Every structure is written in structure tokens, then in C-alpha cells.
Structure 1
Amino acid sequence: MKFASQLSIQSKLMVMLLTVSIASILVIGFVGYQGGREALMQNLSAQMSQLRITRTRQIVDYFTDLQNQVVTLAEDPSLMAATIAFQTTFNQLDDQLKNPQPDTQLNNQPDQPNLSPQELSQLWLFYQQSFIPRLAENVEGTPTVKPYFPKSAIARYLQYHYIAANSYPVESKSRLENPEDGSEYSKIHRQFHPFLRDLSERFQYQNLMLIDSKTGNVIYEVAKQVGFATSVTQDSFVNSGVAALFKTLKDRGEPRTFAVADFNPFRPNAGKPAAFVGAPVFREGNLTGILVLQLPVDQINRIMTGNSQWPADGLGQTGETVLVGPDLLLRSPSRFLMEEPEGYFQDLEGPKRFP
């Protein structure tokens, strides 16, 4: 106070003006900061909303394209011909295995394509050493061979020749065109498989299946998973998306329609989640088969992650967009899982407890 009393009136006015100016600057700065912060948050929110809208549109367009593809393919004359040919030879082979006929020229031995005990053992070993270990990585408990081993003679026969005795790796079983078993089915397979495999690879489907609409048997598939030659109403397909899709399209019984099965664990795919889209195959007005396509997971992931270019989409170092299903579970991977999987799983486990 003594110092203030010694100041001249001019000095006191200067101090007062300086104080007011500083206070005004602080107030203006605070208001500007708040306004700028709010504007920045609004811009970020608008950017995120626009990105969400863009991703939604891309996913919707992608599934619309898939639906158009499957309906168009189901009406393709070559695919119709393949469905009829596979259906005919599959059923013929099934009859041969169920009703062996003696061949008098071969000492009255059954003239049928039966598997020998050694071949049956080789098929069992494939399940035991290849399929079950891969399945165990994706399911709870300890799976064993018996519940998954094909029950019908035709499933065992075709899975032996096209899967177990197929020298190509599991992910490349589709490379085999003819197992040289001498069956009429394999002759048809050699004729149509290159065409169907090319379709599957060109559009990046993970698998393409043809299902007999009457029996539910998978009469053909590109990838040769362990559901091949089995029935979608039983065996590995029980409660699967393929079984639900098959029933929907068969009950509907209308051409130029489609159905979609959401991602769910799929046993023939070693228990990994899989989604499908399907359409009925008609011939002369009659339902003949069901075409089923296994959706390419990588393409969905590329859309949702912007081809892993998050910063370029304005998401910085931590932002991401993910696809969430009606059950609130992810249908596309988290950015953090892709960039730092170890840290991601550690975060899921939560903080470690110390004694």
C-alpha cells in the first residue's frame, strides 16, 4: 500500500490500464480457446460421421454387388450345366457304393469304388493329424476325430480322393482337378472344376459350393473343406450358417432370390467364423440346387480399415472404424489387434495382479 501511495496519478492510471488489458487478453484468450476447442471437436465429429457414412455406403455397396453376383451366377448356363452334371454323377456314385453289383469278369468281386482299409485309415489320419489340430485352435475343449469323421460311404470316398490323398497343402486342395480314380464323377469334376475355381479366385470367394436341393448333399465345392460330399442337414454343418441359408432358399423356392448367413463359427472351416451368400439354381422352372459362396473376409477387412491406411483417413494414431453385428460382436478386426496383437490381448486380459 505504501508503494501504491507513492505512485503518481499517471502511474496509477497506467497500472490500472495494464491490469485491465491483461485481464481482457486472458478472457479473450480463454474464450478463443474454448471456441477453437469446440470448433475443433465439431470438425472432428463431422469428419468421423462422414467417415462412418462412407464406410457404411462401401459395405452396403459391397454386399449389394455380392448379391447381384450370386444371383447372376446361379442363372449362368455353364453353372446350371455343372450343377446337373455333378448332381447326376454324385447320385450315381452314391448308388454304386450303397448297392455294389458283382462283376463276373473279375471273379465275382464287387465292381464298385470302395475304399480299402488302408485308404480309410489314411482318411482318418488326415482328420487326426491335420483337421483336428486346426479345429482345436478355434473351439473350446479337446475335439476328437469320431464326431467329425464322415458317416456316409460317398463322403468318405470323395474326401479320401480329393482331400486325404490330395498331395497339395490344405489351403491349396483346389489345385487338384482329377484324382484319377476312374469314376464318372471325377470326369465331370475335371470338366467343370477349372471354370468354377476360376470364378471363385477371380471374385476372391473363399469357397464355392453346389448343394443338391433335394438331399442337401454338397455335391461340389472348390476349396475341398471337410464338409465336401456331406449333408448340410447333418454332419459338420449342423446349426451352421450354410444349413440355415439352404433351408431358407429351399423353403422359399423362388428364382432370382438370395439369402445371407452372418459370420459364425464354421466347423468345416476349422471352426473359424465364416459368412455366406447363396441363390437357388433352377432348370426349366424346377429347383435343382443351391449355389453358396463363402464371403472373402479380407475384402471386408480392407474396406473397414481403409486398406490399413488409418492416418490417411484422418484417424491419426489411434482412430479406427469397425463393423459390428447385431449381437454387438466385431465383424472386422480392431486396428490395435492388427498393429500390436500382443498388446491387444494383454489389454483384454486386464492388469496383472501382484501378491
Structure 2
Amino acid sequence: MSTTERGAPPEASAADDVTTPPPAVPPAAPRASREPKPRASKPRRVGLSIQSKLLIMLLGVSLVSSVIVGVIGFVSGRESLRAAAVDQLTTIRELRTGELERVFTGMQTGVTLDSRNLSAQNASIALNAAFEEAQSRPLTEEQRAELETYYVDEFNQALSERAGGTYAAGAFIPESTAGQYLQYEYTSKVYRFPGGELDFDAAINAGDAGDGSQWSAARERYHDYFQRIIDASGYDDVLMLDTEGNVVYAAYSGPDLGMNVMTGPLKDSQLAEAYREVMATNSVNALATTDYERYIPSLNVPAIWVVSPIGNSERVTGAMAAQIPINVLNDVLTGDERWKEQGLGDTGEVYVVGSDDLMRSTSRLLIEDPEAYAKLAVANGTPSDLVEREIEVGGTVLLQPVTTDSVRLAQQGKSGTSISRGYLGRDNITAYTPVDIDGLNWVAVARIDTEEAFAPVTDFTRTLVISTLAILLAVSVLSMLLAQVFTRPVRRLSDAVRRVAGGDLTVQVPAGSRDEFGDLGNAFNDMSSSLRIKQELIEEQRVENERLLHTLMPEAVAKRYQDGEETIAEVHQDVSVIFAELIGFDDFTASLSSDDEIAQLNALMRGFDEAAERTGVEKVRTLHGGYLASSGLIVPRVDNVRRAVEFATELRSVVERFNASNEASVELRAGIATGTVTSGLVGRTSLAYDLWGDAVNLAYRVRSVDGRPGIYVSQAVKDRLQDGVRIVSAGRIETAEGAETVWRVE
């Protein structure tokens, strides 16, 4: 049973149940045992002198500064060298790419001009007519057999050795009678492979077949013109095609002579596609350039074709196709293999890659050191059989795959530089860009190994280290001179500090050194320690006294009490009072020890205190089985009624959680009233902060209107509650103003 259930009136219980702390104690004097004892004078131990320490400090600062400067210089120098290498590589890339574009543009222009030349027009007309006349010259069975024997014994065998695979005897024999005739009279007789290699000079210089045909006469007349074009422009071959796709002339009289690019073995070639493209325009101004492709008549060697129509403004009689040699591209990109003289060092190069990620030029390392190239290429993932093929043919065109970041960015139309892994697996500095050649989707990459590009950093570092050591030597000499100058006033400063030992109490200086600064620190610390300890003791006692006062009363009341007021009482208007008691707590703790009972009560009271803090309610005092609190007492609040009801509801939740945790059946009965109250200090020898007045009495009375647990409020509280709170009538009590209804919060 609670205190109030034992019959004590509220005022009596408020005074009797409060445990009064001991009266405030004035600040005590510091105990003698904590007084600092004078330090015995000790002889100064011999250690490093100030001059030596100052010298060490100066050298240390100089060393650190030099290292920092060196690091900054190293980083800056490295970045500068890197930028210089990148700039140089970018310049080389632009020069090589520009030269490549100019060469190709020149060749394209040359083919266009050659195809529009009057000699080319006349040759086209004559060769077309001669080819038509040759349609009336079918081969005999013996001649057909001889032609097939040529392919089996020579061309097909050479092609198999070069490209692999097997080919039928008639695989490359044209369907047309004229084509068969021309191949029999010229190809099989001049396009020969003595020793397994094609005799180019014999092929290009072959004369009249002596067959008396119109075609032989036309070839005899115009062949010298085409030879001079090849010599002047550096073409690998020149083809003349009629308007139906027949190759009516080939400078080297190879297997493509007499073929039809629209229907024969070359119908799916880029040459055929370029021919169809330019002929579809029906304009002599048209031009088409093919990318590299493996060209069977040239033994599967990669070939580029530039195709332009032949004719004039009145009509187009055919097309000229010029085969661009691989060495034209390689000579431009390698600078005639003079990489080092042109700023690419020992590892730099410029290469070109097509849209299929295959190289269109030859790797520098393959040219200079095939064995080293093979090791690096295989180690970086290139199939070994492909590498063997590259070494065999001495080139990487349409063989070596390149899928580096630089190639990928350039294929996206970007130009720039990067440091990344190259196609041979080594770290490179690269400068990449798309190549602007009409009809070709190429990108160019200039690269050099980072190890070589940054080699000057080593020389720079060596110079930097030597310079730093020289600076340290000079600083050492200067530090010795400065140390001698700076140590002279030290002892005068130590004597001056001892004379002001009663100054600032909070200042401390390090006193661990064994030199003149140690003497100065000891003297200064002796002076300040005694006064500081006394001050700390006084401050500790004052803080403890204030803490005890604040546990008994609000801070504002405590301040008035400390200021010397003996009678402290205040009247407060519009204050809500909550009087809560625990029902059944004594029964719950009957079987518990005193310590356990106090522990359980403290657990509940902590929950009540936390609820008061959350809802903005002021705790007045704690009873053995209850709790007295107010809202709007210390801090005036417009919503003090709402806060009081919320606090009571929180108390009920705290009790419910306590019951659930301890399997208890403790109940809460709380009364809430609002009105005028008086607060102040009660007693003289045993101080207690208490609250009294009509609102306190009414809160005490309404809580027990029907004897059941719950939250009960006065009529004034009910009138100020919002509609959201559900309340019901619980009974009536008699007050000085007459009967008043008490309400229960559901």
C-alpha cells in the first residue's frame, strides 16, 4: 500500500517522505596533505647543450625542408618530363598522320588524273574492243589443259604455300572465252614462279604474245604507258575494267586478267564493291578507296585499291584500279625505318589500326627483333600460330590484333594521349587520333615505352640528390654559427623567470630536458604548482556543493539560496500538478530484500524521470510509492495541461512495461489538477523544496475519486483538454466552491 493509502494528507506526505540531504557545506580549505612540497634543489644533470640541440633542430628542419623540396622537385620534374614526352609523341603522331593522309590523297588524286588522261581513255576503248574480239578465240582442249596445268603446278601451289588450303585446277580460270584466252596467252606464260617466287620483272616486261590478236596489239601500244604510271606512282599493279566488270588489262598479267569482278571469284571482294560504287555514279569524278583485303591474284597478300571511272563528260568506258603497295604506308609511318632519328627512341613507333582491330602497318619490333616480338606477342595473348605467320611473312598487316584503350578511344572519334598497356603488353605513352582518309576507317597511334620515355627522370634525380647534399652541407655550417649566437641570452632569461614565480597559475612548461631550458622550466613549474593545486581544491568543493543543491531544488532557487536569501517562496499561476501513486508495489516487493526493493523502485523512478524529461514536466519530489510533478512551474507553458496528461499517460506506459518485465501487477493512480500553487524551501536545518496550494490538494483528491487505478483530472483540466483525448465522468468531489465532477482519462 502507498503512503497516501496509509492515511497521510498530501501536505504531510510531501514533507515526511523526502530524504533531506546534509546541509550545504561552505567551501573547505585544502587539506594540508595535498599542499605541494618544496622541491629539493638537485644538481643539474649533464646533457646536450642548448647549442647542440639547436644545431640538431636546425639540421632537422633543413633536412626535412630539403627532402620536401626534393620531392616536390622530383614530382614536378617527372610531370614536366612526362608532358614533354607526351608533347613530342603528339607532334610525331600529327606529322606521321598528316604525311600518311597527304600520301594517300596524292595517290587518290593521281589515280583520278590518270583515269581521265586521254591515253587512258583511248586505252580503255581499245582494250574493251580487243577483249570483245577475243571472245571469238576459244581455247582448244589442249590449251585448256595447259592452262589448268599452270594453275595446278604453279599458281595454286604458290597460293597454298602462302595462304594455305587447296584449290581446284579451274578455280581461277575466267568463265568468259576472252578471259580464258588472255590467261592462256599471257598469264600462264608471264606470271611464272621460278624457284617458288614470282618473277615480277618478267611479268611486267613481257612483250607481245605473237598471237596476232587485236588485244595483243592494244597491249603492245598502251602497256608502256601503264608501266610508266606504275614506275612514277609506285603502284603494285594497274587494272583496266570495262563497263561489265571484265578485267580487260592487268599490268602484270596475273590471274585477275580476264576475270569478271561481278560474277567471278572476285565478286565479293572490296575491289568489286569499289567498282560497283564508282560505276553506279556514271561520273568520271567518282573515286573509291578500299581498305586492306587479302587479294588472291597477289597470292593473298593484303592489297588496297583506288578505283576511278575512265571516260569523259560524254560517256564512261570503264574503270581504272590502282593497287597501292604496303610499303607506301610502312615507309610513311616508320620514316623509312629511321625511328630513332625522328624522336621515337629505341621503342617508339607509329602504327595504324582498322575498324576490325587489326593492324594496317608493320610492327617496329617485328622488323628489328622478330624473336623478341614473338615472345612479347604470345605473352600478351596473340595466338602462337598467328605470330609464326607474322614472322614468316615479315609483317603484321591484317594479322596482329590491337584492342588497346588508345585504339578504342580513337575509333570513337577522339584524339588524345594516355598511359596504358600496349598491344605487346608493355606500358606505353600513347598519342592516338582518327585518320582522315576518304574511304578508310583507320586510327593512328604513336607509342613509346614508359620506361624509355621516363629515363631522363633518373638523371634528374641524381642531380637533385647531389644538389640537396650540397645545400645540407651549407646549412650545417650556418647552423653552427647561429646556434652560438642564440644560446647567449638563455641564462639571463632563466634568472628573470624565477623572479616572477608568482604570476600566471595555469602556465606550464616542459621540464624534462637536462639543459638550461630544463632549469627554467623547473623554476617556473615550482612557482605555479602550489597555487594551482589550492585553486583546484577550492573549485572542486564549490562544484560538489552546487551539485548537491541542484539535486534538491531547481537551479533558480538554488541560486537565490546561494545568494543568501533565507525565506524563499513563490506563487505560480496556471500550473498543472500531477500526483501519481503506485498501487500494489508493496505487495510486489513483500518477498524481496531491502536492496532489491530499492532497486525495483529506482527502476520505476528512472522511467518516471525520463518520461518527465520527454514531456517537458518538472519533477518536484519522489515518494516511496508515488511521484509529484508539475507542468508550467519553472518554465511557464501555454500547453501545461496537455503536457501533464501526456506525462501521466507516459507513467502508465512505464508501469505497464515494468509489469511485463517483472511479471508484476503494479497499478498507477494519478490525479491532475491545474491552478495556483506555491513553491519554496521548507525547513532550516534540513532543507526541502516543496509544492503546496489548492491545485496540489485537488490533484491529490481527484486521484482516488472511485478507488480504481487510472488517470483522473479535475473539471478545469477537462475543460482545457483537446477533443483528441477521450475522457469519461468518474464521480464528484466536494471543493470549497461546491461539488465538482472528476473525469477519468481512457
The alignment's TM-score, normalised by the length of structure 1, stands at: 0.87
Write the distance in 1 (CA, Å) between the matches of 2:380 and 2:214. 61
Write the distance in 1 (CA, Å) between the matches of 2:380 and 2:303. 32
**Partners of 2:112 and 2:285 within 8 A in 1:** yes
Aligned counterpart in structure 1 of residue 155 of structure 2, from 131, 139, 144: 131
Matches within 5 A, 1:301-312: 301-312=330-341
Deviations 1:213-250 (A, max 9, x none): 1x210001112221111101122312112100110011
Deviations 1:143-188 (A, max 9, x none): 3434333333322221121121228653231110211112121011
Matches within 5 A, 1:255-274: 255-274=284-303
**Partners of 2:132 and 2:178 within 8 A in 1:** no
Matches within 5 A, 1:197-346: 197-213=227-243, 215-283=244-312, 285-346=314-375
1:105 aligned partner: none
Deviations 1:239-282 (A, max 9, x none): 11210011001111112221111111112121121111111111
2:110 aligned partner: 69
TM-superposed deviation, 1:284? 5.7
Deviations 1:309-333 (A, max 9, x none): 1111221111110011122221111
**Partners of 1:241 and 1:261 within 8 A in 2:** yes
Matches within 5 A, 1:155-166: 155-166=179-190
TM-superposed deviation, 1:37? 0.3
**Partners of 1:166 and 1:179 within 8 A in 2:** no
**Partners of 2:187 and 2:257 within 8 A in 1:** no
Matches within 5 A, 1:186-205: 186-205=216-235
Write the distance in 2 (CA, Å) between the matches of 1:17 and 1:138. 76
TM-superposed deviation, 1:9? 1.5
Write the distance in 1 (CA, Å) between the matches of 2:85 and 2:277. 43
Code of the residue aligned with 2:156 in structure 1: it is I
Deviates more, 1:145-154 or 1:216-225: 145-154
Deviates more, 1:124-133 or 1:193-202: 124-133
Write the distance in 1 (CA, Å) between the matches of 2:46 and 2:54. 13
The structure-2 alpha-carbon separation of the partners of 1:80 and 1:5, relative to structure 1 and needing over 3 Å to count, comes to farther
Deviates more, 1:332-341 or 1:203-212: 332-341
Code of the residue aligned with 2:143 in structure 1: it is E
**Partners of 1:168 and 1:175 within 8 A in 2:** no
The structure-2 alpha-carbon separation of the partners of 1:10 and 1:196, relative to structure 1 and needing over 3 Å to count, comes to same
Write the distance in 1 (CA, Å) between the matches of 2:46 and 2:145. 109
Aligned counterpart in structure 1 of residue 122 of structure 2, from 78, 81, 84: 81
Does the residue aligned with 1:64 lie in a helix, a strand or coil?
Answer: helix
1:174 aligned partner: 204
Does the residue aligned with 1:6 lie in a helix, a strand or coil?
Answer: coil
Write the distance in 2 (CA, Å) between the matches of 1:289 and 1:31. 69
Write the distance in 2 (CA, Å) between the matches of 1:262 and 1:244. 11
Write the distance in 2 (CA, Å) between the matches of 1:349 and 1:23. 48
1:101 aligned partner: none
Write the distance in 2 (CA, Å) between the matches of 1:233 and 1:189. 23
1:143 maps onto 2:167 in alignment: yes
The Cα RMSD (Å) is: 2.1
**Partners of 1:219 and 1:229 within 8 A in 2:** yes
Could you tell me which runs of 5 or more consecutive residues in structure 1 were left unpaired when the two chains were aligned.
98-113
1:184 aligned partner: 214
Code of the residue aligned with 2:241 in structure 1: it is I
Write the distance in 2 (CA, Å) between the matches of 1:79 and 1:204. 17
**Partners of 2:191 and 2:253 within 8 A in 1:** no
TM-superposed deviation, 1:130? 2.3
- Please say which structure displays the higher CA radius of gyration: 2
The alignment's TM-score, normalised by the length of structure 2, stands at: 0.43
Structure with the larger strand share: 2
Could you tell me which runs of 5 or more consecutive residues in structure 2 were left unpaired when the two chains were aligned.
1-44, 382-746
